[in-house]
Amino acid sequence: MQIVILKDATEVARYGADLFVAQLKKQPASTLGLATGSTPVALYQNLIEKNQQGDISFSQVTSFNLDEYLGLDGSHPQSYRFFMNEQLFDHIDIVKERTHVPPGDAQDPIAACQEYEARILAAGGIDIQLLGIGRNGHIGFNEPSSGLTSRTRVKTLTKATIDDNARFFSEDEYQPHLSITMGIGTILDAKKVVLLATGENKAAAIKATVEGPLTASCPASALQMHRDAVIVIDEAAASELADVDFYKHIEAENQKLLARLAAK
Q: Report in angstroms the alpha-carbon separations of 245 from 4, 206, 231, 240, 252.
A: 11, 16, 15, 12, 10
The answer to whether 44 and 16 are in contact (CB under 8 A) is: no
Torsion from C-alpha of 171, 176, 177, 183, nearest 10 degrees = -140
State yes or no: is 67 an active-site residue.
yes
State yes or no: is 97 an active-site residue.
no
- Active-site option among 136, 189, 226, 234: 136
Q: What is the DSSP letter of 240?
A: T
- Active-site option among 127, 143, 189, 234: 143
Return the closest-CA partner of residue 186 out of 233, 145, 226. 226
State yes or no: is 245 an active-site residue.
no
What distance in Å separates the CA atoms of residue 28 and residue 145, rounded to the nearest whole number? 37
- Active-site option among 46, 51, 65, 67: 67
State yes or no: is 100 an active-site residue.
no
Instruction: Considering only CA atoms, give the Rg of the chain.
Output: 18
- Active-site option among 65, 138, 142, 234: 138
- Residues serving a catalytic function are 67, 136, 138, 143
